[in-house]
């Protein structure tokens, strides 16, 4: 399982958090999504054979939110 953190622009309301979480949970290979409202971050766990961190960041961008950075931690071999 690959882990990633998306640093977002400021989230302005809890419904933004729910919108992002719901959209990401529907993506192929996504196992866990945790949106940290106060930190404007999304923590993800996903199967990298089914999806990529950049593709998941694009999902957030298409919802109208700014993605400032994408950090990926590859699983230990």
Question: Structural domains in the chain?
Answer: 2-73 (3.30.70.100)
DSSP state of 11: P
Going by C-alpha positions, the residue among 1, 3, 11 that lies closest to residue 60 is: 11
Percent of the chain exceeding pLDDT 70 equals: 96
Q: What is the pLDDT of residue 3?
A: 96
Query: pTM of the predicted model, to two decimals?
Result: 0.92
- The per-residue pLDDT for range 5-37, each reduced to its tens digit, is 999 998 888 899 999 999 999 999 999 999 999
Q: Which residues contact 4 (CB under 8 A, 6 or more apart)?
A: 43, 44, 46, 53, 56, 70, 71, 72, 73
Q: How far is CA 61 from the centre of its chain?
A: 10
- For range 30-54, the mean pLDDT: 95
pLDDT above 70 (res 77): no
């Amino acid at each position: 399982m690959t882990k990633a953190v998306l640093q977002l622009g400021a989230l302005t309301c809890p419904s933004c958090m729910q919108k992002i979480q719901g959209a990401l949970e529907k993506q192929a290979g996504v196992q866990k999504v945790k949106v940290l409202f106060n930190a404007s971050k999304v923590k993800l766990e996903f199967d990298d054979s089914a999806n990529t961190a950049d593709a998941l960041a694009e999902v957030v961008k298409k919802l109208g939110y700014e993605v400032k950075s994408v950090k990926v931690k590859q699983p230990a071999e």
